[in-house]
Chains A and B, each alone.
Chain A
Amino acid sequence: MKHVKTLNTKKLQNTVKKGGCGECQTSCVGNQSCENK
């Protein structure tokens, strides 16, 4: 694209089906990573 640079490809809506395993660290969420990718 000429006018846009997108910084990331991951889309949150794609984490709905496989998400929620709960194995990630407790947070006290913006900077953590999924541990079950």
Chain B
Amino acid sequence: MAVVHQYKNNGYNIVLDVNSGAVHVVDDVIYEIIPLFEKSTKEEIIEQLKETYSEKEIAESYQEIQELAANGELFTEDEYQGYIEEFETRPTVVKALCLHIAHDCNLACQYCFAEEGEYHGRRALMSFEVGKAALDFLIANSGNRRNLEVDFFGGEPLMNFEVVKQLVAYGREQEELHNKRFRFTLTTNGVLLNDEVMEFANQEMANVVLSIDGREEVNDRMRPFRGGAGSYRLIVPKFQKLADSRNQERYYVRGTFTRHNLDFSQDVLHLADLGFKQISVEPVVAQPEDEYALREEDLPRLFEEYDRLALELLRRHKEGKDFNFFHFMIDLEGGPCVAKRLSGCGSGTEYLAVTPWGDFYPCHQFVGNEAFLMGNVKDGIQNAKLQNEFKSCNVYAKEKCRECFARFYCSGGCAANSYNFHGSITDAYDIGCQLQKKRIECAIMIQAALAEEC
């Protein structure tokens, strides 16, 4: 079981104590002693390192390592497995729904898993009645959870904006009646964004996700209209206006990078140069036969890009030109509890996707795959066996994750990606894992650099 992860980045020697979450920046002598500490005596370590460091230095460092271990900040054992297994015998409650308010789209993005918004099926818009039944189901099945989440998703949700407004109004009416609090979010490609939508979003949406891939040529290659024209010039001014109207908070511009733009850090910086402060540009997940799919051989290049981006983020920070990059944001001090970290995203249990006609799937990425149909808004969950499979899909159920240093930051990865690449929800998508681990290393390095300012 990996209990310590050590790496060097940007001149920092970083030691992550995996099971306590403690992060240490150490000097060279400590960095070299740690791998020897558990399998050698102090005398053996002195003998081994005496050509490089003085005996006093080694003895002093050895003592500091002992103190960290005694304090539960180094070589901490993983004693959580029994706890998580017990935790998951608790009754299932639902706390979040992804409403597929529109299975239709006005763009034809090449990499879209929803296939022009239709999800391998037919074009359809969700009616208010289906949406209302979904919210009623959520309230009735949320137990004593107070914070509930509803994502308006598609397709393109703004193709059904009237129903979005009606459902938000209905949700707000229910809050006081049931002592619940709704957190609504909206994901849009921006084509139909106008002043009315912006005003509504600023009043009601806790988060807005604005889809754009970066530089004009990159965006327009992958995100054209159905007739082939690019979308960049139409959406950028609208996104800038919305981001400013939200004080550059509670939104993300969110892009996808593919094999066509392995230099994706340039797209992130382009979005930052356009004035956006909350940015996510993420690797495409595509089948190997897709020409834009990322390949194993691309990984070294992508690692370099993440390193380059981390350094540029720090450089801009010093100049007062900060921006947030979603995958480099990490909360070392106030992050969630062990139960949350090891249970995963909650898909198929506390989080469900709802189709326009009211069917439940574990999450938006499973929609359209009939093997994952879980029930519907009228009859509730009908496939308890499938729900239990997702419920037990924690980090310890996944051989690749059980011993991974990143398990408390990644929670075992995406069940849909695992299924799409390996036919099982308890495996892991390997390229995604490699990239995730690199991002965590960069994120911690950034925290180390920022800590130097204190």
**Hey, which bits of chain A sit against chain B, CB under 8 A?**
1-13, 15-16, 18-20, 22-35, 37
Q: Is the CB of B20 within 8 A of A4?
A: no
Which 7 residue pairs across A and B have the least CB separation, nearest first?
A19-B337, A30-B409, A15-B337, A20-B339, A31-B329, A8-B332, A26-B96
A-chain residues with CB within 8 Å of residue B330 when the two chains form the complex:
30-31
* Distance A7 CA – B257 CA, assembled complex (angstroms): 32
Q: Which label, helix, strand, loop or mixed, suits the secondary structure of the A interface? A: loop
A sample of 16 more A-B contacts (CB under 8 A), given A7-B448, A25-B147, is A3-B29, A3-B30, A4-B64, A6-B22, A6-B73, A10-B334, A12-B341, A13-B76, A15-B336, A19-B339, A19-B340, A20-B87, A22-B145, A25-B183, A31-B335, A37-B334
Within 8 Å by CB of A32, from B64, B183, B336, B451, lies B336
* Distance A35 CA – B444 CA, assembled complex (angstroms): 22
Closest to A22 in B: B145
* Distance A33 CA – B97 CA, assembled complex (angstroms): 20
Known: A11-B20, A22-B350. A33 touches B331 (CB 8 A): yes
Counting residue pairs across A and B whose Cβ atoms lie within 8 Å, the total is: 150
Closest to B12 in A: A5
Closest to A32 in B: B336
Give B284 Cβ to nearest chain A Cβ, in Å: 16
Q: Is the CB of B335 within 8 A of A30?
A: yes
Q: Is B192 an interface residue (CB 8 A)?
A: no
Q: Is the CB of A12 within 8 A of B21?
A: yes
Q: Is B239 an interface residue (CB 8 A)?
A: no
Give B225 Cβ to nearest chain A Cβ, in Å: 27
* Distance A25 CA – B12 CA, assembled complex (angstroms): 32
Give B350 Cβ to nearest chain A Cβ, in Å: 7
Known: A23-B145, A31-B326. A7 touches B23 (CB 8 A): yes
Closest to A35 in B: B147
* Cβ contacts B327-359/A at 8 Å (1 or 0 each): 001111111111111001110001100000000
Within 8 Å by CB of B149, from A2, A18, A19, A26, lies A26
Q: Is the CB of B26 within 8 A of A4?
A: yes
Within 8 Å by CB of B331, from A3, A5, A31, lies A31
Give B222 Cβ to nearest chain A Cβ, in Å: 21
* Cβ contacts B442-453/A at 8 Å (1 or 0 each): 011001100100
Q: Is the CB of A2 within 8 A of B410?
A: no
B-chain residues with CB within 8 Å of residue A25 when the two chains form the complex:
147, 149, 183
Most chain B beta-carbon neighbours within 10 Å: one of A3, A6, A15: A3
Give B331 Cβ to nearest chain A Cβ, in Å: 5
Q: Can you give 11 contacting A-B residue pairs, CB < 8 Å?
A: A1-B64, A5-B25, A6-B24, A7-B25, A7-B332, A8-B22, A19-B336, A20-B87, A26-B350, A30-B330, A31-B326
* Distance A19 CA – B21 CA, assembled complex (angstroms): 15
A-chain residues with CB within 8 Å of residue B96 when the two chains form the complex:
26
Give B386 Cβ to nearest chain A Cβ, in Å: 18
Q: Is the CB of B440 within 8 A of A30?
A: yes
* Distance A11 CA – B341 CA, assembled complex (angstroms): 13
* Distance A9 CA – B132 CA, assembled complex (angstroms): 45
Within 8 Å by CB of B335, from A9, A10, A26, lies A10
Closest to B15 in A: A4
A-chain residues with CB within 8 Å of residue B22 when the two chains form the complex:
6, 8, 11
Q: Is the CB of B25 within 8 A of A4?
A: yes
Q: Is the CB of A11 within 8 A of B21?
A: yes
Give B22 Cβ to nearest chain A Cβ, in Å: 6
Known: A4-B68, A11-B21. A24 touches B336 (CB 8 A): yes
